[in-house]
Amino acid sequence: MTQGVLCTVGDGAATARSRVPRALCAALLYGALWGCLCGMAFLSTAGVPALLAGGVLAAALPLLPPRARRLAVLAALLFAAGWTLFRFSAVREGACYLLNRFFAASEARQAYTYALLPVAEATGVAELRAALVPLGLVTGLLAAAAPRSRAVHAGLLAGLALFAAWLGVAPGTPWLALLAAAAALPFLPDAATPGVTAALCAAVLFLAALAAVTVAALLPGEDARLSAWDESARDALALHTLAYTDRPEEAAPPPPRAETGQTFYREEETPSALGGDGEVWRRRAPVLLVIVLFALALFVPAILSDALRRRRARNRRGLDDPDGAVCVRAMFLYAMRHLRFAGLCAENLPYSHFASEIGTRFSPALRAEFERVLPLWQEAAYSAHPLGDAQRAAMRAFMDDAVSAARGALNRRQKFLLTYYYAL
């Protein structure tokens, strides 16, 4: 009976390759969602510093292993909850200010008047950014889950579409193109998709794009029937409805204001009055620095820990293999790596030449044990003879003694390198 060496190839590389497209899809979806929302509210780049943390979270979560991903999700939720509690007043004012911006945008496009939410007179960009931080983190978590769950992906897109339809405000064309790309990415075929399924996905995406272009070309303007239905639906959902007539009532003139010599306006603060764009970026630099440091503290240790764990598992592969020959070979090579790191000659020589040096550098007892298990290594490496539990136990005893002797000959720096750099 002939026995060979069984090699097991893990799917770690394939899993790592599949994480990168998911991260790109999550980042693209997050950017498209908030790009559309900021464009609808005419916020320009005012919310970018506050939304950066959520974008980093959306792009980094798919790259993390499952355990680190759960810790990152928990940390993000705790940070968002703590931020909201400690800055509740600013977050509430900023959220109301953001909704008022959406209402104002809708009033500019539709014949509708909204009851604006009460906000303080001094509410502005600072409160808006305070509200966008937890909103961005929550959206980042949902965007990171979207590549794995098409239900979450479709829910985010449907929510944005319904919100835009309710307001009657459409995002700009570049943001809609980016949103279309984010919507199509999870449905694109990949290398693991069967040929029939890949062709079906490509056909459906092509037909959807063709239908959108055809509708935009044939009906470039507003449809009267759809607008009438939209108005009736909004009237039914509104708590109070305002009707416009041909004979508007004339409002009573306001009473004359006494001249007091006071100025009832405040000059607008512009970047030129504050020192130009350089002053704006100097004020944003601390916020960006905090966000970057938070991202590094959250993700870098988890990524390094996962890389160390995979490398240690690769170095210890075969130590518990059910095949006795594979296990004996793995334990002998693992022990020799420790001895060579502790100073054993690293020349390419037969293992039998190292017996005297092991006795001199470490101990005669370890040399005797090495000479006793060397035939087991040769039998496992160069023959097809099965090895039992007794041979496995003898080689494991030598491995444990060799590892202890090697670590005993190292200083603290070498032990640190052996554990966290070479991952033995």
Query: Which of 18-27, 212-221, 379-388 is predicted with the least confidence, judged by mean pLDDT?
Result: 212-221
192, pLDDT greater than 50: no
Name the token pair of 258: 């006494």
| pLDDT single digits (tens) 273-288 | 444 445 555 666 666 6
Query: Which of 117-121, 233-237, 413-417 is predicted with the least confidence, judged by mean pLDDT?
Result: 233-237
Higher pLDDT, 348 or 215: 348
Q: Please give the single-letter amino acid code of residue 161.
A: A
Q: Which of 422, 239, 406, 236 is nearest to 335 (CA)?
A: 406
**Using 50, 70 and 90 to split pLDDT, how confident is the model at 237?**
low
Query: Which of 47-56, 258-267, 307-316, 378-387 is predicted with the least confidence, judged by mean pLDDT?
Result: 258-267
Average pLDDT, stretch 350-373?
87
Alpha helices in 46-87 (DSSP H): 48-60, 66-86
Higher pLDDT, 56 or 350: 56
Residues 320, 184: Cα–Cα separation, whole Å: 45
Which of left, alpha, beta for 395 (phi over 0: left; psi -120 to 50: alpha)?
Answer: alpha
Name the token pair of 325: 């020959």
**DSSP code per residue over 401-419:** HHHHHHHHT--HHHHHHHH
Q: Please give the single-letter amino acid code of residue 202.
A: A
**Using 50, 70 and 90 to split pLDDT, how confident is the model at 216?**
low
Residues 343, 358: Cα–Cα separation, whole Å: 10
**DSSP code per residue over 1-69:** ----------SHHHHHHHHHHHHHHHHHHHHHHHHHHHHHTT-TTTTHHHHHHHHHHHHHGGGS-HHHH
Residue 99, classified by CB atoms within 10 Å of its CB into exposed (0-12), middle (13-18) or buried (19+), is: middle
Cα Dmax for the chain: 111
